[in-house]
Amino acid sequence: MGQNEVNKDFDVIIIGGGATGAGTARDCAKRGLRVLLLERFDIATGATGRNHGLLHSGARYAVTDGESAEECIKENMILRRIASHCVEETDGLFLTLPEDDIQYQGKFVEACQRAGIRAEVIDPKEALRMEPSANPALIGAVRVPDGAVDPFRLTASNIMDAKSHGAEVLTYHEVVEVLRSGSQVTGVKVFDHKTKATKSYYADVVVNAGGIWGHRLAEMAGVRVNMLPSKGALLIFGHRVNRMVLNRCRKPADADILVPGDTICLIGTTSSKVPFEEVDDMLVTSKEVDLLLREGEKLAPSLAQTRILRAYAGVRPLVASDDDPSGRSVSRGIVVLDHAVRDGLEGFVTITGGKLMTYRLMAEWTTDLVCKKLGVNATCTTAIEPLPGSRENAEEVNKKIISLPLPQRQSSIARHGDLAERLSHNTPVENSLVCECEEVSVGEVKYALNELDVNNLVDLRRRTRVGMGTCQGELCACRAAGVMSREGKYCTRRAKEDLASFLNERWKGMRPIAWGDTLRESEYMSWVYESVCGLNMSQKQSE
Amino acid sequence: MKFDTIIIGGGLSGLVCGIRLVKAGRRCVIVSAGQSALHFSSGSFDLLNALPDGSPVECPLEALGQLALQAPEHPYVKLGVERMKALLAEVPAFFAGAGVAVEGQGVRNHYRMTPLGAWHPTWLTLKDFFCCGSPEGKLPWRKAAIFNIAGFLDFYAEFIAGDLKKRGVECSVHLFNMDALEHLRKNPSEMRSANIARVFEKQENLERLGEILRDEAGDAEVVLLPAVFGLERADALACLRRVANRKVMLLPTLPPSVPGIRTQLQLKKYFQDCGGVYMLGDTVMKAEVEDGHVVRVYSYNHGNIPFVADDVVLATGSFFSQGLIAEPGRVYEPVFGLDVKYPEEREQWFDLNFFNRQAYQSFGVETDGGFRGMRGGKVLDNLYVAGAVLGGFNAVKEGCGGGVSILTALAVAQQIMDKRKIG
Amino acid sequence: MNLQQHNISDNNFEQCIKCTVCTVYCPVAAVNPDFPGPKQAGPDGERLRLKRPDFYDEALKYCINCKRCEVACPSNVRIGDIIQSARIRYAKKKPKVRDILLANTDFVGTLSTPFAPVVNVALGLKPVKAAMDAVLKIDHRRMFPKYAFGTFEGWYKKQASRQAAFSKQVAYFHGCYVNYNNPQLGKDLVKVMNAAGYGVQLLEKEQCCGVALISNGLINQAKKQAQTNMASIRQAVLERKMPVIATSSTCTFTIRDEYPHLLQLENGDVREQVELATRFLYRLLAENKTKLRFRTDKKLKVAYHTPCHMEKLGWSYYTIELLKMIPGVEVQVLDSQCCGIAGTYGFKKENYEVSQQIGSRLFRQIEASGVDFVVSDCETCKWQIEMSTSKKCEHPISVLARMLED
């Protein structure tokens, strides 16, 4: 372990590679600031990558939180424009089931209209025609402009744009100390997980965009941000059961949203308080699984016969209101804390609260504050300028890569938008599939390795969906590790360790729902990797 | 349909049992719901590599005493040392008879190399596969040339080279290509071992490869290749050796397993040649039991025409082959509803770490000492259970899947023959 | 609560655990790299098509619907059905005139039989073959099945009263092939059934089972014909209390399995009563309900070829056992593999090479067998074998008829 001082100065250091951190890095870089983004693991590993991937219309909040609803619908419309390759315009239905109060529907529609959300009451029969998977017992339906958004792609795309505007992005860099000089934050000390070295970086302003981990970062800076970790568990089903987002038309409750996302659909969430010690290792319990299934089947009865791929949980970074010393009342919406004003600590800003949907707005407000502190006068353009991948329409891209086999072509456009043409696909070998469930080719893996900051198989999964399909890595993990090793990404020993670690990560999500075909898949996976390949614990332990 | 014995399950265990019985003159039918787990074989069969507590086993027979203490329900414990020895002695001749050439013996494990370049203890290995007597120390080669097909993703020459170098073998890695393979490559997903093997069923392609090996292997004494040869012909390696003019050995690939498929085909053909009837792609749906005796068995394809037999063998495999089925709250055996032991609490079925011992892998059907299945603790007097559907062992962690399948199948066959006073 | 094990309906594709076994046994993928293979075209592709229908790949048309993937699958995934259903649901390309012509086996038959001598000669003439090749893209190397002069139904009319005299009756689904190309097989069936003590009735109304319509994408027409057939079968089974037997393994398979799986026509009430004549006879003989007397003066060496749909039905056992019952007949069972014709598939110019390549191993085995002739339950396998080898191919019922004691 070495320690070296780094002299390079930045205007702003952003801690946290979630959507908010990435969005802030993009905004700051576009406004001409010298930006450093630090992420302790990979991008989108926290709450960003562990939610529904719902492109909220805001309807869900319309009755209870009009302000959030308005923010949502505005950002919804912006994301459709600037992040079209991350968004699917599915629309959503709010279903009233016989056990729900139909009176709520009127209140709901009215609140939506107030917030500027198009909400259209649909005849139950017509609703079933539009969405055949919906519970046929429904007694009411309202159509709203909900959709699906892929958080990994969204984050990666923001990072890419930030980098193209000069930002430096360091993943696997964990902040271990916030450096202060008196009442001024001057920089951070980080631990580089890859080289095991500790380094310091300096900037005029440090932005804490650490999500739930921002609580600890604030502590490091000597200020207190009172966060309330709230666990939300979700289930991923093997394929798309529904075409439109399905919600329950009632006061928001557990397991009442079913979102179609890419090749799968997911139901969520539960909601329970968890202690800070557990936020790094969320386990989904049998009780949570049972609850999600029970409620999910009410939205779409066919979920009962649908294979579950995995269960996972994220932690919402809820913030206690500053004006409530008890910490019980949760702050609504976006929270930007200027610690100079709040705590007398200069050069430190915390951005938290909010939701994936409002990441851009959060970034805008944060950047506004940073600019003000730095005395920079530049306007925000992130609401207007499309992200990389969303600059050309799909038909144009399709024409450019028409020689690829159809499913591969469709999949790579869906994942990379107009960047799909940059995938290496010149030879038949590069067109060979690594991941057959998700149609990921050798060329796409190579592209991700070379251009998308991939350090290991889990990173690769976030960029390409390798291992996210039905087989959960059984067929493709080994191939991907082989390609990474062959491409010189790591040595064969590291490749085996990484493979073991990837399989363990996949198992973590399969274990809570390991019965039926998922258990068959797991057993098969054990045979292939442990018996045939001889992969074992020692590889894992040596990590 | 009247037979002497109906065997449900056409994988390793079912076939071994069936062959043993038809050779003794019994009229047997095997009903198999699809192809078997042999299709993912490593090219080796393990007997016993480790005890349940994790301690490694070098001499399986010597470890049986310890095994009895740690896993009293283990099928080997039911067999007992003497029967194990007797059955083990039968195995080489059994495979030779079926035309499956294997190396190794039960007294001491040898080591095979895995596709990831690790050394794995094992009992029997198919001829032509790369293996050695010890996982450490010098190997008898100074220099090895590892060849892979350009674009074949299920074999990892670099991983293998990495480990061989550790053991003092100089390695070169070569990628080769041939026109005959280009055709296959046009399809992005079908560059699979079995499809490649089909290309090399043709003599001209095999000879062309032999020439490539000869020209490119330099001064390497041994050439290592992925096991993509001899889907149907047994002489593929001999041909390569002749043309390449040096030792050529195989290493397993990721599924599908060409040597496994060939073994399946050979065993099946042998069974049929001896007069057995093999029905593929059919599922046994239900059975009629009267007074603790299986009377009739009904399948999906044959509908209202039942199978009638004196004895029934259940060799349906574990969860993978649906010999066992897991639901959120229960595990059951679907054909007869035989007794299966498992903890009620689902969370106890699993360990959080994928690579730790997983309890579910030891779940299986309970039997009496003679491998007869039970319902509600009562023995069904003509229903025998063999192979992976049995409970009490962990094939992955103990490295005993092949041994349990083969030995329990032979034991069950013997039991039937003794009962019927034949053989 | 969770019903994954009963997952036999729309979500059947999810039972796939990506073991790749199906890819080993696909006869098409082995020779045609344009076909994505059963795993990709089937369960993997289905998942993508459910995401968005534009993931549908026209290359699925290369699937010959042999169902050998389903027979091999250890997870009960109905791979072939998934592929065929996807073609029905998503294919945008309209069937060509040639496909419509080939698919309408009964219509073409109706037109051809009165002019059989002319048609047969014409179809054999080089200029005609060349024209069909160029205009219709029907491969010129393909030999057409000969059309008979006069249909089976026409012949039967004269037999009807004699058949009615039997106390026990079966209904016979003869299929287009027996009606137009090989009425002799129908006559043989009548002879054998009569010898077993059964009179043979025709269905009230029989149309082509529709297998060729389905594979050529003419689904509405297939459905209509299937409905007509089902009505007649129900009338026979439920009202006239007669089981329905057939001689074609493909017609039988289509009615029993493709109707409910691909055309969504439920047949559960009568499905068990529709079977192959060989299965019907096997049961009678096994239960000692009848006896057939065979001649003993003749020796025959035959090889049995298992047609793909027979393999899927799992019924070759019955045919083989029947053949073995005949004194003097030595039966060699060929390895079960596709002959490559797959109905109308092999007739199409673009498929000819693939078709012959698929069958090549079988042809070699047949040539090496040294048998008098090949026996098979499928008419299109017969055409392919007779065109591609030096051996004739007979239906098992014709063998039985030939060997019956006079």
**Taking a C-beta distance cutoff of 8 angstroms, is the pair B316, B332 a contact?**
no
Cross-chain Cβ contact A534/B120 below 8 Å: yes
pLDDT of the residue at C100: 80
| C109 within some domain | yes
Nearest CA in chain B to C33: B187
For chain B, residues classed under CATH 3.40.50 are: 130-251
Query: Quick one: DSSP state of residue C145?
Result: P
Residue-range definition of the domain harbouring residue C129: 97-136
Residue C350 is predicted with a pLDDT of 85
Contacts with A, B 47-106, CB within 8 Å = none
Closest chain B residue to C34, measured at CA: B187
Report pLDDT digits (tens) over A80-114. Answer: 999 999 999 999 999 999 999 999 999 999 999 99
Interface membership of A475 toward B (CB under 8 Å): yes
* pLDDT of C129 above 90: no
pLDDT-derived band at C2 (thresholds 50, 70, 90) equals very low
**pLDDT for the residue numbered C150:** 87
Residue C108, pLDDT score: 67
In a domain, C327, yes or no: yes
pLDDT tens, B219-249?
999 999 999 999 988 899 999 999 999 999 9
Cβ contacts (< 8 Å) between B364 and chain A: which residues?
A: none
* pLDDT (average), residues A173-198: 96
Tell the CATH superfamily of the B2-105+261-419 domain. Answer: FAD/NAD(P)-binding domain (3.50.50.60)
Option in C19, C33, C286 nearest B186 (CB)? C33
Using the predicted structure, report yes or no on whether residue C293 has a pLDDT greater than 90.
yes
- The interface residues of chain A toward chain C in range 422-441, judged by CB-CB distance below 8 A, are 436-437, 439
Contact C393, C334 (CB under 8 A): no
CATH of B130-251, one of 3.30.70, 3.40.50, 2.30.29, 1.10.3470: 3.40.50
Residue C126, class by beta-carbon neighbours within 10 Å (0-12 exposed, 13-18 middle, 19+ buried)? Answer: exposed
Counting residues of chain C whose pLDDT is more than 70, the rounded percentage is 95
Tell me where in chain B the CATH 3.50.50.60 domain(s) lie: 2-105+261-419
pLDDT of A2 higher than 60:
no
Could you tell me if residue C347 is inside a domain? yes
Of A434, A524, A525, the CB nearest to B153: A434
- Domain edge (last residue) among C286, C316, C348: C286
Q: Which of A469, A535, A465 is nearest to A504 (CA)?
A: A535
Angle at C307 between CA C303 and CA C308, to 5 degrees: 145
Has residue C314 got a pLDDT over 70?
A: yes
What DSSP state is assigned to residue B23? Answer: H
Last residue of some domain: C225, C253, C286?
C286
Residue C1 lies in a domain: no
Assess whether C156 and C282 both reside in one domain.
Answer: yes
Interatomic CA distance for residues C66 and C68, integer angstroms: 5
Higher pLDDT, C349 or A436: A436
Q: Indicate the pLDDT class of residue C119, thresholds 50, 70 and 90.
A: confident
Q: What is the DSSP string of A388-425?
A: TTSSS-HHHHHHHTTTS-HHHHHHHHHHHGGGGGGS--
- Residues of chain B neighbouring A524 (CB-CB closer than 8 A): 40, 320
Residue A316, CA atoms < 13 Å, CB-side half-sphere: 24
- pLDDT reported for residue C345: 84
pLDDT at A3 over 60: no
pLDDT band at A541 (very low <50, low <70, confident <90, very high): very low
Take residue C45 and report the two structure tokens written for it: 């592709």
Which of C254, C286, C318 finishes a domain?
A: C286
pLDDT at A324: 63
Residue-level pLDDT at C107: 66
C169 plus C281 within the same structural domain: yes
The reply to whether C268 and C385 lie within a common domain is no
Statement to judge: residues C325 and C381 lie in one domain = yes
3-state secondary structure B294-355: EEEEEECCCCCCCEEEEEEEECCCCCCCCCCEEECCEEECCCCCCCECCCCCHHHHCCCCCC
Q: Distance from C205 to chain B by nearest Cα, in Å?
A: 27
Instruction: Find out whether C277 and C245 touch, Cβ atoms under 8 Å.
Output: yes
A375 interfaces chain B, CB cutoff of 8 Å: no
- Residues A319-335: tens digit of each pLDDT: 887 766 555 567 668 99
In this prediction, residue C109 has a pLDDT band, given cuts at 50, 70 and 90, of low
* Closest by Cβ to C74, choosing from B34, B187, B303: B34
Predicted confidence at residue C8, as pLDDT, reads 45
Give the pLDDT score at A79.
98
A493 touches C: beta carbon within 8 Å:
no
Region B181-207 average pLDDT: 92
Percent over 70 (pLDDT), chain A: 95
If asked whether residues C258 and C306 sit together in one domain, one would say no
Q: Is the pLDDT of residue A540 over 80?
A: no
Q: A410-438: per-residue pLDDT in tens?
A: 999 999 999 999 987 778 889 999 999 99
ipTM here? 0.97
Nearest to C186 by CA among C398, C404, C385: C398
Give the torsion sign (CA, B41, B43, B46, B50): negative
Residue among A529, A516, A50 at smallest CA distance from A238: A516
Across the range A133-146, mean pLDDT stands at 97
Q: Do C38 and C101 fall within a single domain?
A: no
C137 close to C168: Cβ distance less than 8 angstroms: no
The answer to whether residues C111 and C205 belong to one domain is no
Full set of structural domains in chain A with CATH: 3-47+152-226+320-374 (3.50.50.60), 86-148+228-313 (3.30.9.10), 394-541 (no CATH)
> CB of B159 within 8 Å of any CB in chain A?
yes
pLDDT at B223 (0 to 100)? 97
Residue of A nearest to B327 (CA): A515
Strands annotated E in A103-195 = 120-122, 140-144, 147-149, 168-170, 173-181, 184-192
Question: Is residue C44 situated within a structural domain?
Answer: yes
Residue C51 lies in a domain: yes
One domain, residues C160 and C278: yes
User: Subunits that touch chain C (at least 3 Cβ pairs < 8 angstroms)?
Assistant: A, B
Read off the CATH number of the domain in which C37 is found. 1.10.1060.10
Nearest-Cα residue of chain C relative to residue B190: C37
Task: Quote the strand ranges of C158-243, DSSP E.
Answer: 168-173, 198-202
Which range (B275-279, B343-347, C248-252) has the least confidence? B343-347
Q: What is the mean pLDDT of residues C119-126?
A: 74
For residues A415 and A446, the answer to whether their CB atoms sit within 8 Å is no
The answer on C307 and C277 residing in a single domain is: no
Query: How many beta carbons lie within 10 A of that of residue A243, not counting itself?
Result: 20
Measure CB to CB from residue B192 to each of C23, C75, C76 and give the nearest one. C23
Among C22, C47, C52, the residue to mutate for chain A (most A Cβ within 10 A) = C47
- Mean pLDDT along residues C143-161: 88
Residues A207-241 pLDDT 10s: 999 999 999 999 999 999 988 899 999 999 999 99
**Nearest residue in C to B268, CA atom:** C335
Reply yes or no on whether the pLDDT at C339 is more than 90: yes
Q: How many domains does chain C have?
A: 4
Give the pair of three-digit tokens for residue B124: 């029997």
In the numeric block, the tokens 């080489």 are attached to B92
| Candidates B187, B277, B325; nearest CB to C5 | B325
Torsion of CA B139, B122, A476, A46, to 10 degrees: -100
